[in-house]
Structure 1
C-alpha cells in the first residue's frame, strides 16, 4: 500500500512537471497575426525572456529573414532569437510577403516590415516591449528591410497608422542589401524607383546607431559598400560599426550547420557587445 502511494506521488510529480514545462514553453513564445492583406495573414513569433512579467518593459530585437525578397523563412533567426530571449530581451521573427509565395516585389516587403514594427509598438504594453530600446535586424534582404523600417519615409501600407513610427532605436545588419542603385544589388527588381527603397540613399540625421557585419568575399555586397555606408552615417554624426570577416561569403553568419558554429557565435557575440554598449543588455554574453 505504501509502495503504491509512492508510485502515485512520483507519477503525479511527473505529470505536474510535464504540464509545467509545456505551460512555460507556451508562455515563452507567442504567434500573432500582425497584418491581413489580399487575404494573406502575416504572422510574427515572439520569444519572451524567462520569468517574463507583462508589467515590465524589455529591450526588444526584431529579425527579418533573408532570401532576396523571393523566399525565406522565419526559422533563419530562430537560434539568435532564443539566445537574446535568454539574455532578457523580447525577440521577434517576422514573416512578410515575398515573390515565390505572394508574387510581390521588394516594395511590398518593405511595407510589411514597417507594418510589423508599428504593430509591435501599438501592442508594446501587451508584449512587454520597451519602444525606446527596439532593435531591427536581419540578413541580406532581411537586413535591407531592417534598415528600411528606420530610414525610409515612404512605402507605408495604406491601412497603417502612420502616426506610429516604424523606426527602430538601433540596427544590426548581417550582410545587408543596403544599396539598390545600379552599382548595388536589386536594381533589376526596383528600377528607377531605387531612391525610394535604397537605405544607402536615405541616411539622414537621427538614423539609428548601426552594426554592419559582412564577409570580405561577399559576392553581392562589396566591402566598399559597408564603408561607404559608414562614411555617410558619420557625415550626419551617427554611429556605424563595421565588422569585416576575412574570407567569408554571403550568409556566412548562419552557415553553422555546414561549417560549424564559429561565425554564428562570433557574430552573436559582436551583436551582444554592441547592444551592451547601447545599454540594452547587461552582464557578460552567455554563449
Structure 2
C-alpha cells in the first residue's frame, strides 16, 4: 500500500492509501475510491480495507481516502480534492481516469456523491466518477431522521441544501448502486428509496438492494478472523461485497 499526500491543511497532510490490483494488467486499471463513514466527525480510512482487498482481486486499483473529520464542509472539501488528485495523478497511479467508481458508507456516501453531483469549490466536471456504490448513504442533508441526516451541521436551510445530493441529481448522475438495511435508525432506508426513484425519474440509472431487519453499518465485517465465504458472522459483509463486486465488474472492470 502506497501513501500519497494529496492535501496539506495547516500542519496536517492528508493521504491517499493506494493498493494496486493483485495481478498487473497490461493497461491502466479501473479504480475504486473509498470514503469511510462516521457522520463527518469520526471514523477512519481503514473501514473499507476488507472490501478494497476484494476489488484488488478483481483487477481494480483501490484508494482509501483520509479526510478531516471536522464536519461536512471540511470533509467535502477533502473529498473533492481527493478525487481531483486521483484523476490528475492517474498516470502515476496506473489507473484509468474514465473508469473510476466512488464508494462510500453513511456520511461517506454523501462524500462519494459530492464528487459526482454537487457543485462545490474546486469541483471539476471532468473529474466525475463513472459510477457510484453507496452503503446506507446520507443522501439528504436538509432534514433529520427519518427525512434525512445532518441538518444540525449546517448554518441554515440553504447551506444544508448545497450539500444535499438528493436535490442535485439529474440525467448526468453516474450509474449508482445503493445498499441499505431496513432497520437503520441513523439513516432511514426510505431516504435511499426516494433517492433511487429520483435518479431514475431524472433519466439516470440507479438500483437499490434492501436488506430486511439490518441496522446501520450492517455491511461491516463482524468477525476478526480471516473473512472466509460462508462465515455466518460475516453474512452481510459477504452479501454486500458480492453486490459491490458484481456492479463494479459490470460498470468499470469489465475488461479487468
Please report the TM-score for the alignment, with normalisation by the length of structure 1: 0.81
Find the structure with the greater CA-based Rg.
1
Aligned match of 2:150: 186
Partner of residue 96, structure 1: 67
Matched, 1:169 2:130: yes
Q: Which runs of 5+ in 2 are unaligned?
A: 225-231
Determine if contact 2:84/2:127 at 8 Å carries over to the other structure. yes
Report which stretch shifted further, 271-280 or 230-239.
271-280
- The one of 118, 125, 132 equivalent to 2:84 is 118
Residues 115 and 166 of structure 1 are in contact (CA less than 8 Å); yes or no, is this contact kept in structure 2? no
Corresponding residue number in structure 1 for 2:227: none
How is 1:5-154 mapped onto 2 (pairs within 5 angstroms)? 29-52=1-24, 56-99=27-70, 105-154=71-120
Deviations 1:219-265 (A, max 9, x none): 12222211111111012211111000001000000042287111111
Equivalent in the alignment of 1:197: 163
The answer to whether the 8 A contact 1:107-1:155 is kept is: no
Q: Does the 8 Å CA contact 2:3/2:17 hold for their aligned counterparts?
A: yes
State the alpha-carbon separation in 2 of the partners of residues 209 and 261 from structure 1. 27
Structure 2 match to 1:263: 236
Superposed CA offset, 1:165-195 (max 9, x none): 3411100001011110123100000232111
CA contact (8 A) 1:185 1:221 kept: yes
* C-alpha distance in 2 between matches for 1:90 and 1:282: 13
For 1:100-153, what per-residue CA distance to the aligned partner results, in whole angstroms no more than 9, with x for missing partners?
xxxxx2111001000000001111011111111100001111111001111101
What is the CA–CA distance in structure 1 between the aligned matches of 2:92 and 2:169, rounded to whole Å?
32
- Are the aligned partners of 2:100 and 2:252 in contact in 1 as well (CA < 8 Å)? no
Once the two structures are TM-superposed, the CA of residue 56 in structure 1 deviates from its matched residue by 2.1
Match of 1:5 in 2: none
| Distance across 2 between alignment mates of 1:163 and 1:108 | 17
- State which drifts further: 200-209 or 162-171: 162-171
Pick from 195, 198, 208 the counterpart of residue 242 of structure 1.
Answer: 208
Structure with larger RCO (C-alpha < 8 A, sep 6+): 2
Aligned length: 244
The question of 1:273 aligning with 2:246 is answered yes
d(CA) in 2 for partners of 1:51 and 1:281? Answer: 15
Contact in 2 for aligned 1:110/1:155 (Cα 8 Å): no
SS across alignment from 1:253: coil
| Root-mean-square deviation over aligned CA pairs | 1.7
Could you state the TM-score of these two structures normalised by the residue count of structure 2? 0.90
What SS class does the counterpart of residue 146 from structure 1 fall into? helix
Task: Say whether the 8 Å CA contact 2:115–2:128 is kept in structure 1.
Answer: yes
- From the superposition, tell whether residues 186 and 49 of structure 1 become closer, same or farther in structure 2 (CA, over 3 Å): same
Partner SS for 1:204:
coil
- Structure 2: distance between partners of 1:66 and 1:136: 13
